[in-house]
Structure 1
Amino acid sequence: MTEAALIPYASLTAKQSNYIADSRNSWLNVAEGGKRAGKNIINLIAYAMCLEVHPDKLHLVAGVSLAAAKMNAIDSNGFGLQWIFAGRCREGEYKNRDALYIQTKTGEKVVIIAGGGKANDAARIKGNSYGTVYITEVNECHQSFVQEAIDRTIASSKRQLFFDLNPKPPAHWFYRDFLDYQDAEKKAGRNSGYNYAHFTLFDNLSITDEQLRAILVTYDKDSLWYKADIKGMRTAATGRIYTGYMVKNVIVTREQYKDAKWIQFSVGIDIGGTDATTATLSGYTAHYKEVVLLDGYYHKQGKDSGYTHDRYAKEIVDKIEEWGNTYPAFFACAHIFAESADKLFRQALHNELQRRKIYITVRPSIKDVIVDRIRLTEMLINQGRYKVMKHLRQWQEALENATWDEKKRTEGEWVRTDDGSYPVDCLDSSEYAVWPFKKRLEV
């Protein structure tokens, strides 16, 4: 009796069965969701069915490392490919690469096993065309490796990709550069071969109701940890900067502040170059008790295109005029702090304000040490004095998903991650607006 035969089995849910059935004729199969949701097992069953009848000989299985690929896909606690094909497969090498040889209905399959966590790992899978690719924890792998693996299936007789993943922040490259496009195409009716399913702990029938209840009481349901690991939502839960950030304590509505007496307004502007350009309007209540991010301007330009300084100045002054009409005291007590490194933009903004007869001085942003700016925001959040209007989606996403750069942190340097995985420019512009009032806010 094999090891797999000793493991108790649980029934599949309708969602799991449908995902497996739909994978037969789908070119892209993605199982995403929370921890212990059964994603890996469901995908392996679907992938094994694909291998059994696929016309091509050579295939690829990968993970963030070679060991991870073997553990999650080849073994997988008795549910991996070596157990599914027990008695008709063997481990070996193919052209000096680790491989699993499988006897199937359509002949022998050679499944190359590889690690993909580093940029140079892509070079190790070049030179071959693969009939199928299965990458476990795909968004932990390096972007260049994943893209190379996808490209290597272009000549397949029946192109099929299988990915499983735990969620990352919404702007992670895998969503931004790949999955978001697939989602949009499917929604538009142009991607019928895309098979996606979201699984959570609640879909795993091997966990009893009693066990599930006992597990759930150990988590704070409002925490990002719960949202990421249990509900499988795309959010950051490790290495977070603003650990005190909770939606229920920070997000507010205009209705809540309709009668507020504002004693100060400030606008912070960050010019993003090839990234986003943002402007944040902050308001301060009596005695600087609260900071409220009231509104903002956000424009994400591409690498090959962007607005001129004059156009950004015009659009931001359009917002400034709007804010002046919304808040009667705005023009009497507003300050503007614009990107200190971009003198040309500040001049363009000054010219546009003068042209419209808006006499607010444009000052260079006070950058100081970025960690100090971060700590001020963190302090205000923890004290319950930092609020964000509900409609400011990108600002909420940034606060929720901001993380410390892990590599820099191990070197003893505290640096905020700035890799495009969340709209960090919103944090910069909001800090430019708030930092000049640090002494008043710390009273």
Structure 2
Amino acid sequence: MAVQIKKKKTIPFNFAAKHQAYIRKCQDSTFNFAEGAVRAGKTIDNVYAFAHELKTTKDKIHLATGSTAANAKLNIGDANGFGLEWIFRNQSHWGKYKGNECLYIKGPSTGNRQRIVIFAGGAKADSFKKIRGNSYGMWIATEINLHHEKTIQEAMNRLLAADNRKIFWDLNPDNPKAPIYIKYIDKYAKQDKEGKLLGGYNYEHFTIFDNVNIPEQRIQEIISQYDPASIWYMRDIEGKRCVAEGLIYRIFADSIAVQDSRFLRTEKPRNLQEINIGVDFGGNGSGHSFVATAITPGYTELIALESELHFGDIDPEDLGRLFVSFCQKVVMKYGFITAVFADSAEQVLIRGLRSSAKKAGLSWLKIYDSYKEQINERIRATYMLMSQGRFFIYGDGCESLILALCSAVWDPKEVTKNIRLDDGTSDIDTLDGFEYTFERNIERLIGR
């Protein structure tokens, strides 16, 4: 006897005319690209259209990707109550398929045919390995410009045998000459215009003002959290493709120059949620950096506590002693250390730090590999925290970090990507160490 599925609640989808037109065109298009500002509703459009196709497609296995698997699950699977698990509520469950997180879907909406949506990350050079071995029918990706080229190529190849081949991408604007435009989005647009692209091309540009679900007051609140002179304002609010130029953290550098104390915390922070240390190893002219930051309850603020930079040929034992001394200083001042995140590329040196910590009676110290989030995502998170008044420096022990933030600039010679200049003229080592302390918490601190 068939089990009757009861939907207890209707999802309150509310699409403006521009969004409705894009979604309708998805039905007849292989390539569906939604680009534009934050909170514009791009991802929801694609999730809705993707879910509609899942109901009738003959293909069993499909792919959903984000910069990380967690990001894909959050923005495509959940999507604040508008994601796939909600659209197919009582007809789906989370599980594993060949080692990957997936959403199993089967019920009246799919004609009781099983559909499997595999969720995977796409930002790292080896991310493509996670999606090998399967043929997919459709592919939905959020923040496609943060995906590694190898991931995009592998996913494209895995769709070739699909019965109903469809691609759904969303992205915030990037460098006008970024590979995602040159190799894919703009290339396909040109081919479509010339009548050479088979399958149908569907592109739309959205801004936050196209989203009828956000009240005007909330829109103004979101806008107020950005520095109007920043690249992030032009991309996230105005939805423009633009090239990054000049100082990366101009609002911070200007504040330090005029000594307005905007980013300085004079009272010792208390009731801290966690204190993390980031370690970046030097070599070939660069330095070894140690940076400690604190996160306040509820991921409200990020506070830099201490930083050190050591140059020269430092043997592993001396490096270990410097590291232990730094950790002991942090514990003496603030009482605890939650974790240490060290440059994952240097496993021998990381083992040396663990050995030095154990010898010094700090065997309780948890030392992990750095996560190595994409640099521009780390930069964006830092800038957003600065713009929102949620990043601070405490005390006088962060001189190297202050100098590093004030001198960080975009590479003027790079025309296809927005890349932080790394030619020895600025302190990239301290910036890396600083970013390792919070990169795992970017979702909690600012979202995407």
> Which TM class, normalised by the smaller chain length?
0.5 to 0.7
What pairs with 1:140-159 in structure 2 (closer than 5 Å)? 140-159=146-165
In structure 2, the partner of 1:133 is: 139
Residues in 2 aligned to 1:34 and 1:169: alpha-carbon distance in whole angstroms: 14
Residues 411 and 186 of structure 1: CA distance in aligned 2, closer, same or farther (over 3 Å): same
The superposition leaves residues 211-233 of structure 1 with CA deviations (integer Å, 9 ceiling, x where unpaired) of 33454466565543321110111
Whether the 8 Å CA contact 1:92–1:101 is kept in 2: the answer is: yes
Whether the 8 Å CA contact 1:239–1:406 is kept in 2: the answer is: no
Task: State the one-letter code of the partner of 1:188.
Answer: E
Deviation at 1:411, TM superposition (A): 2.2
In structure 1, the partner of 2:77 is: 74
In structure 1, the partner of 2:429 is: 411
In structure 2, the partner of 1:332 is: none
- Alignment of 1:204 with 2:211, yes or no, is yes
Residues in 1 aligned to 2:134 and 2:417: alpha-carbon distance in whole angstroms: 41
Residues in 1 aligned to 2:84 and 2:228: alpha-carbon distance in whole angstroms: 36
Can you give the 5+ residue segments of structure 2 that lack an aligned partner in the other structure?
1-5, 252-405, 433-448
In structure 2, the partner of 1:46 is: 49
Residues in 2 aligned to 1:23 and 1:47: alpha-carbon distance in whole angstroms: 9
Residues in 2 aligned to 1:97 and 1:411: alpha-carbon distance in whole angstroms: 34
Task: State the one-letter code of the partner of 2:156.
Answer: I
Whether the 8 Å CA contact 1:53–1:106 is kept in 2: the answer is: no
Residues 6 and 109 of structure 1: CA distance in aligned 2, closer, same or farther (over 3 Å): closer
Whether the 8 Å CA contact 1:61–1:111 is kept in 2: the answer is: yes
Whether the 8 Å CA contact 2:178–2:416 is kept in 1: the answer is: no
Residues 87 and 160 of structure 1: CA distance in aligned 2, closer, same or farther (over 3 Å): same
Secondary structure of the structure 2 residue equivalent to 1:110: strand
Deviation at 1:183, TM superposition (A): 1.6
In structure 1, the partner of 2:64 is: 61
- Alignment of 1:178 with 2:184, yes or no, is yes
Residues in 2 aligned to 1:405 and 1:130: alpha-carbon distance in whole angstroms: 39
In structure 2, the partner of 1:279 is: none
Deviation at 1:410, TM superposition (A): 4.5
| The one of 99, 124, 127 aligned to 1:96 | 99
Deviation at 1:401, TM superposition (A): 5.2
The superposition leaves residues 225-273 of structure 1 with CA deviations (integer Å, 9 ceiling, x where unpaired) of 32111011112569955959xxxxxxxxxxxxxxxxxxxxxxxxxxxxx
Whether the 8 Å CA contact 2:177–2:416 is kept in 1: the answer is: no
What pairs with 1:299-314 in structure 2 (closer than 5 Å)? none
Can you give the 5+ residue segments of structure 1 that lack an aligned partner in the other structure?
245-374, 379-394, 415-443
Whether the 8 Å CA contact 1:44–1:81 is kept in 2: the answer is: yes
Deviation at 1:202, TM superposition (A): 0.4
Larger Rg: 1
In structure 2, the partner of 1:11 is: 14
| The one of 163, 167, 170 aligned to 2:173 | 167
Whether the 8 Å CA contact 2:175–2:416 is kept in 1: the answer is: no
Whether the 8 Å CA contact 1:242–1:399 is kept in 2: the answer is: no
Task: State the one-letter code of the partner of 2:166.
Answer: Q
Residues 130 and 153 of structure 1: CA distance in aligned 2, closer, same or farther (over 3 Å): same
Residues in 2 aligned to 1:220 and 1:18: alpha-carbon distance in whole angstroms: 33
Deviation at 1:81, TM superposition (A): 0.5
In structure 2, the partner of 1:383 is: none
The superposition leaves residues 335-386 of structure 1 with CA deviations (integer Å, 9 ceiling, x where unpaired) of xxxxxxxxxxxxxxxxxxxxxxxxxxxxxxxxxxxxxxxx99x9xxxxxxxx
Deviation at 1:45, TM superposition (A): 0.4
In structure 2, the partner of 1:226 is: 233
Residues 230 and 4 of structure 1: CA distance in aligned 2, closer, same or farther (over 3 Å): farther
| The one of 69, 83, 86 aligned to 1:83 | 86
Residues 241 and 3 of structure 1: CA distance in aligned 2, closer, same or farther (over 3 Å): farther
Deviation at 1:112, TM superposition (A): 1.1
What pairs with 1:256-335 in structure 2 (closer than 5 Å)? none
Identity of aligned residues (%): 40
The superposition leaves residues 143-191 of structure 1 with CA deviations (integer Å, 9 ceiling, x where unpaired) of 1011110111011011101111111111211112222211211222333
Residues 213 and 85 of structure 1: CA distance in aligned 2, closer, same or farther (over 3 Å): same
Task: State the one-letter code of the partner of 1:200.
Answer: T
Residues 127 and 6 of structure 1: CA distance in aligned 2, closer, same or farther (over 3 Å): closer
Task: State the one-letter code of the partner of 2:206.
Answer: F
Whether the 8 Å CA contact 2:33–2:185 is kept in 1: the answer is: no
Secondary structure of the structure 1 residue equivalent to 2:177: coil
Deviation at 1:207, TM superposition (A): 1.3
Relative to the length of structure 1, the TM-score reads: 0.53
Secondary structure of the structure 1 residue equivalent to 2:55: helix
Residues in 2 aligned to 1:76 and 1:413: alpha-carbon distance in whole angstroms: 32
Relative to the length of structure 2, the TM-score reads: 0.53
Whether the 8 Å CA contact 1:220–1:226 is kept in 2: the answer is: yes
In structure 1, the partner of 2:202 is: 195
Residues in 1 aligned to 2:23 and 2:223: alpha-carbon distance in whole angstroms: 28
Residues in 2 aligned to 1:218 and 1:143: alpha-carbon distance in whole angstroms: 32
What pairs with 1:329-348 in structure 2 (closer than 5 Å)? none
Residues in 2 aligned to 1:406 and 1:3: alpha-carbon distance in whole angstroms: 59
Residues in 1 aligned to 2:149 and 2:73: alpha-carbon distance in whole angstroms: 20
Secondary structure of the structure 2 residue equivalent to 1:53: coil
Residues 398 and 68 of structure 1: CA distance in aligned 2, closer, same or farther (over 3 Å): same
Secondary structure of the structure 2 residue equivalent to 1:411: helix
| The one of 96, 112, 118 aligned to 1:112 | 118
Whether the 8 Å CA contact 1:240–1:404 is kept in 2: the answer is: no
Secondary structure of the structure 2 residue equivalent to 1:56: coil
Residues 400 and 54 of structure 1: CA distance in aligned 2, closer, same or farther (over 3 Å): closer
Whether the 8 Å CA contact 1:169–1:236 is kept in 2: the answer is: yes
In structure 1, the partner of 2:261 is: none
Deviation at 1:126, TM superposition (A): 1.3
Residues 57 and 399 of structure 1: CA distance in aligned 2, closer, same or farther (over 3 Å): closer
Whether the 8 Å CA contact 1:132–1:153 is kept in 2: the answer is: yes
